[in-house]
Amino acid sequence: MVNKYMQTYLERIKAELLSRLGEFGQFCPVSLAESQELFDCSATDSLEFAAEFRGHYYKMSSQEKLNKFLENPELYVPPLAPHPLPSADMIPKRLTLSELKSRFPKCAELQGYCPVTYQDGNQRYEALVPGSINYALEYRNRIYICENKEKLQKFLRSPLKYWEQKLPHKLPPLREPILLTSLPLPGYLEQGIATSLIKAMNAVGCIKPKFPFLSIRRSALLYIALHLKAFNPKGSEYTRKKYKKKMEQFMESCELITYLGAKMTRKYKEPQFRAIDFDHKLKTFLSLRNIDPING
């Protein structure tokens, strides 16, 4: 009940903040004044860096910006603010894939090359890097495709720096994608799974797993297979969690050998003189004979 009231209270505070936002809306006035950066603070509902001044609320991008605003708020709001917030049609907007498709047949500027990479690379030939359609934006009725999320954020914050550029006369040749499956086996392994395989082999070399009633070689191969599944960057979160749990269970079974080897004695001991969980772990160990380590 307390949590419900607290949630309701926070929602009322946020609603009041939105209704009383100052001239800069969700954009940080300090970033705009100091570097003309359009730092959008709407991505978070946190009020940690919010301040009230002259009956209006302002959101800042960091504690440092908040401290500057609180020290001299008059410098960052009209009439002393050096830069007003641009009109809505002059603020860059990120495009989703469906929004990007709806702009057809409009083409991307710079023939799809990333404007941020090109500008930050001093407009050199080698700085012509194709953008990704997952990081598209629209500015001044033009479409731009950025290389990654970091470059996209840079454009959104400083569009005047990146929006108007011209390509050189000579452009890189078009890249034709090569299917990994068309490569010979060594090339496929190098380009496709080398990093993941090296991590798995390093892990198995450090842990040296030995599953009950299985050879060392088969135990190592099973551990590598589980590691590849558990840390597959292209796998779903559900699949990774599933195989991380299987890997933990696999290691628990491997640790039975070390535990029993340390606790077992040559002479018979009465149950009351044994370790509390010795009998349970011994029974678990014996039950693993002829059991599939992966599927149980």
Collapsing DSSP states into helix, strand and coil, what is residue 138?
Answer: strand
Cα separation, 104 vs 88, whole angstroms: 22
Enumerate the H helices of 56-193 as residue ranges: 63-71, 97-102, 115-120, 149-157, 159-162, 185-188
Helix H, strand E, coil C: the string for 24-90 is: CCCECHHHHHHHCCCCECCCCCCCCCEEEECCEEEECCCHHHHHHHHHCHHHHCCCCCCCCCCCHHH
CA angle 82, 84, 89 (to 5 degrees): 150
pLDDT recorded at residue 157: 94
Q: Residue 160, CB half-sphere, CA atoms under 13 Å: how many?
A: 7
Cα separation, 38 vs 60, whole angstroms: 11
Collapsing DSSP states into helix, strand and coil, what is residue 130?
Answer: strand
Model pLDDT for residues 163-220, shown as the tens digit of each residue: 999 999 888 876 665 565 555 666 666 666 778 888 889 988 998 999 999 999 999 9
Cα separation, 259 vs 251, whole angstroms: 12
Average pLDDT over residues 260-284: 81
pLDDT recorded at residue 174: 66
Which residues have C-beta within 8 Å of that of residue 134, sequence separation ≥ 6? 97
Q: Which residue has the tokens 């949630």?
A: 7
pLDDT recorded at residue 144: 95
Cα separation, 115 vs 90, whole angstroms: 18
The residues with which 144 forms a beta bridge, in sequence order, are 137
Compute the radius of gyration of the chain from its Cα atoms. 30
Over the chain, what is the mean pLDDT? 86
Helix axes 278-287, 237-263, angle to 10 degrees: 120
Cα separation, 136 vs 126, whole angstroms: 21
Model pLDDT for residues 128-165, shown as the tens digit of each residue: 999 999 999 999 999 999 999 999 999 999 999 999 99
Q: What is the DSSP-derived secondary structure letter of residue 192?
A: I
Cα separation, 182 vs 189, whole angstroms: 12
Query: What distance lies between CA 160 and its chain's CA centroid?
Result: 27
Model pLDDT for residues 218-268, shown as the tens digit of each residue: 999 999 999 999 998 888 999 999 999 999 999 999 998 888 888 887 777
